[in-house]
Amino acid sequence: MHQDFTLLWASLAGHKPERKLKGLVVWITGASSGIGEELAYQLAKCGSRLILSARREDELHRVKRHCLETSDLKDEDVLVLPLDLLERTSHEEKTKTVIRYFGHIDILINNGGRSQRSLFLETSVDVCQALMELNFLGTVSLTKQVLPRMTQRGRGSILTVSSLVGLAGAPLATGYSATKHALQGFFNSLRPELTDYPKILISMACPGPVQSQIISNVFTEELNKPVATVGSQEHKMPTNRCVHLMLVGIANGVKEMWIAQQPFLLFYYAWQYAPTFAWFITDLLGRKRVQNFKAGVDADSAYFTKPKTS
Ligand SMILES: NC(=O)c1ccc[n+]([C@@H]2O[C@H](COP(=O)([O-])OP(=O)(O)OC[C@H]3O[C@@H](n4cnc5c(N)ncnc54)[C@H](OP(=O)(O)O)[C@@H]3O)[C@@H](O)[C@H]2O)c1
């Protein structure tokens, strides 16, 4: 039985997130938009106490206000803690601040990160380095501070938001895909180092395309060059569906979650069980994706018969 079946079974017959996550202290990075923002709203409704982190403090306060308006949480149950994943020297002090405030951390959700839209031949290696610094080393650095707090207590969960491209490959995302593969390798190796701590869960969420601000914020060929075409979000999984499945997964101890709509979910199966076929089909769709990108239309229109141009 593979991970999306595990997730399906858990969502039908497993623990309900609102029962398992009530009262737990959950630290979310990348909480100022997209998946992280929605995680905050759904966890608030579950009754989890929250630490909201990202760089934009005003956005975090907006998310906090919405959490308080739509749940039974009180002001003191949600801590806004601005954090830059790139400022690794700050992570120890940020973790101490959380411990001083809540006493412990039950769940760390490593969600903050950025993606990429550019061809490797045209992309500066500085972009690959920046992606690795943020998505991989930023995540590893925060985990390095939080994990000892969990081993001391003998319990806790670390959920890291990887991606479909943490398991497979996709053109226009060479550096980004490398960071997510790196995270997969890191956490899959960390998990068996923790067998003395059976109540510590190391979990990976691997979403396919999800509605968020991710394309507006992507890295391109050069650092600080904005993306030309953002494109439609219509074909992507709604953010609330993706987050609901993540919470079902964490409430039920799922170690790897494949979260995507078709046809994307088929890619996980192809890459896992029939890689030669997967390379063929990825070349086929990838060629169209690159052609669209070069023509200046939305690269994702490769998946559809009618190109999406807005
Ligand atoms: N959307 C998708 O299709 C998709 C699919 C698979 C995986 N993912 C993953 O899901 C996660 C969330 O992305 P999203 O789709 O929700 O995109 P998003 O809407 O752009 O959100 C990204 C979040 O990361 C934060 N962030 C960026 N740079 C940061 C830094 N230096 N330090 C701290 N926080 C930083 C942003 O906040 P600030 O700008 O305020 O710092 C923002 O809250 C990412 O890890 C992404 O790789 C997304």
- Atom index in ligand 1 nearest the CA of residue 176 equals 47
Q: Is the pLDDT confidence value at 180 over 50? A: yes
- Atom index in ligand 1 nearest the CA of residue 162 equals 7
Query: What is the rounded CA–CA span in Å between residue 40 and residue 26?
Result: 9
Residues designated as active site: 176
Crossing angle of the two packed helices 174-190 and 139-153, in degrees rounded to 10: 20
* Ligand 1 proximity of 84 Cβ (cutoff 6 Å): yes
**Residue range of the domain that includes 201:** 3-272
Predicted pLDDT of residue 308: 43
Nearest CA to ligand 1 atom 43: 30
Query: What is the rounded CA–CA span in Å between residue 299 and residue 16?
Result: 37
Here the CATH number for the domain that contains residue 151 is 3.40.50.720
Q: Is residue 144 part of a domain?
A: yes
Q: Is the pLDDT confidence value at 225 over 70? A: yes
The secondary structure element, H or E, covering residue 53 is strand 49-53
Predicted pLDDT of residue 72: 98
pLDDT, one tens digit per residue, over 63-91 is 999 999 999 999 999 999 999 999 999 99
Query: What is the rounded CA–CA span in Å between residue 216 and residue 228?
Result: 9
Predicted pLDDT of residue 14: 83
pLDDT, one tens digit per residue, over 12-58 is 778 889 889 999 999 999 999 999 999 999 999 999 999 999 999 99
* Ligand 1 proximity of 11 Cβ (cutoff 6 Å): no
Query: What is the rounded CA–CA span in Å between residue 215 and residue 195?
Result: 38
Residue 205 pairs in a beta bridge with 161, 257
**What separation in Å is there between the alpha carbon of 13 and the centre of ligand 1?**
31
Q: Is the pLDDT confidence value at 200 over 80? A: yes
* Ligand 1 proximity of 210 Cβ (cutoff 6 Å): yes
Residue 207 pairs in a beta bridge with 259
Q: Is residue 64 part of a domain?
A: yes
Q: Is residue 288 part of a domain?
A: no
Predicted pLDDT of residue 305: 52
Q: Is residue 114 part of a domain?
A: yes
| Percentage above 70 pLDDT, the chain | 96
Mean pLDDT in the chain? 94
Q: Is residue 254 part of a domain?
A: yes
Token pair listed for 198 = 């059976």
* Ligand 1 proximity of 54 Cβ (cutoff 6 Å): yes
**What separation in Å is there between the alpha carbon of 35 and the centre of ligand 1?**
7
CB 227 within 8 A of CB 274: no
Task: Name the residue type at position 192.
Answer: P
**What separation in Å is there between the alpha carbon of 247 and the centre of ligand 1?**
18
* Ligand 1 proximity of 238 Cβ (cutoff 6 Å): no
Choosing from 28, 35, 163 the residue with most ligand 1 atoms within 8 A of its CB, the one to mutate for a pocket test is 35
Q: Is residue 297 part of a domain?
A: no
Q: Is residue 283 part of a domain?
A: no
CB 292 within 8 A of CB 301: yes
Give the chain's domain count. Answer: 1
Q: Is residue 289 part of a domain?
A: no
* Ligand 1 proximity of 114 Cβ (cutoff 6 Å): yes
Predicted pLDDT of residue 1: 40
